[in-house]
């Protein structure tokens, strides 16, 4: 079973700044089957990034994903007020398709 | 566009079986893709429950496998979740979602979710 560890647990930043969220896998994801989701209170998660670096339809180019193997990063530049939310990574390379525990991006 | 909607009871008793249905609109389940269930306990993270194909091939999370059954009804454009032997730990928002093309576990889009409370 692949375990995903996200860091930091909470990230406090101001609008206009940039955020880097980390997701580390316990085993290599050789197919880069790694997704990032954004979740706001009371809402379903929204797919942002798939295959580690491909943006989902309608996602602003301020969001970008990178990484391979066991280390992946979601970068959000020029933070907007609506970007403050919880972010989850998920691997869909090997069942069970586990999620990370989440990173909360909060307004400083 | 593809839309998913969960339906089912909001309150179930301990030891009973939960049954939820996901109705898909804007896309025919028979045309392909895998379809999944994910849950989220209040204030906690996301847990993948399982996925099913249009031809009823299933993949379950081993942590729940002994209690989970996912089925599909292409004629109704629906797929369903049954979870047995419920305890308070099964209290969660349950989401249904479509997997990414060619995969079983990346999900887009998602239903809005339905809160299920396990309590006597």
Asked if residue B32 has pLDDT above 90, the reply is no
**How confident is the model at residue A15, as a pLDDT?**
97
Check B105 against A97: CB less than 8 A apart: yes
Tens of pLDDT, residue by residue over B68-86, are: 999 999 999 999 999 999 9
Q: Using one digit for the tens of pLDDT, what is the confidence trace for B16-31?
A: 999 999 999 999 999 9
Q: A-side interface with B, Cβ within 8 Å? A: 1, 33, 35, 37, 43-47, 50, 56, 88, 90-92, 95-102
Tell me the per-residue pLDDT of B109-119, one tens digit each, with 9 for 90 and over.
999 999 999 99
CB contact (8 A) between residue B104 and residue A91: no
Which pairs with CB-CB distance under 8 Å and at least 24 residues apart come from A10-15? A10/A103, A10/A104, A10/A105, A10/A106, A11/A103, A11/A104, A11/A105, A11/A106, A12/A106, A12/A107, A12/A108, A13/A79, A13/A105, A13/A106, A13/A107, A13/A108, A14/A79, A14/A107, A14/A108, A15/A79, A15/A80, A15/A81, A15/A107
Above 90 in pLDDT, residue B97?
A: yes
Looking at the complex, report in whole angstroms how far the Cα of residue A46 sits from the nearest Cα belonging to chain B. 7
DSSP B65-101: TTTEEEEEETTTTEEEEEE-S--GGG-EEEEEEEEPT
């Amino acid at each position: 079973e692949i375990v995903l560890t996200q860091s930091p647990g909470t990230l406090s930043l101001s609008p206009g700044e940039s955020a880097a969220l980390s997701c580390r896998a316990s085993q290599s994801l050789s197919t880069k089957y790694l997704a990032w989701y954004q979740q706001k209170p009371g809402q379903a998660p929204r797919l942002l990034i798939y295959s580690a670096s491909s943006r989902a339809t309608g996602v602003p180019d301020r969001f970008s994903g990178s990484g391979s193997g066991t280390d992946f990063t979601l970068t959000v530049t020029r933070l907007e007020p609506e970007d403050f939310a919880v972010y989850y990574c998920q691997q869909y390379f090997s069942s069970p398709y586990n999620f990370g525990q989440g990173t909360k991006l909060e307004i400083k | 566009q593809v839309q998913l909607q969960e339906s089912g009871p909001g309150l179930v008793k301990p030891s009973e079986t939960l049954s939820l249905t996901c109705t898909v609109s804007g896309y025919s389940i028979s045309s392909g893709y895998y379809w999944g269930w994910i849950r989220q306990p209040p204030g906690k993270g996301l847990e993948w429950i399982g996925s099913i194909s249009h031809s009823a091939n299933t993949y379950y999370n081993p942590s729940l496998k002994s209690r989970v059954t996912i089925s599909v009804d292409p004629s109704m454009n629906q797929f369903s979740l049954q979870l047995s032997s419920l305890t308070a730990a099964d209290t969660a928002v349950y989401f249904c979602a479509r997997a990414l093309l060619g995969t079983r576990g990346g999900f887009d889009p998602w239903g809005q979710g339905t809160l299920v409370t396990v309590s006597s």
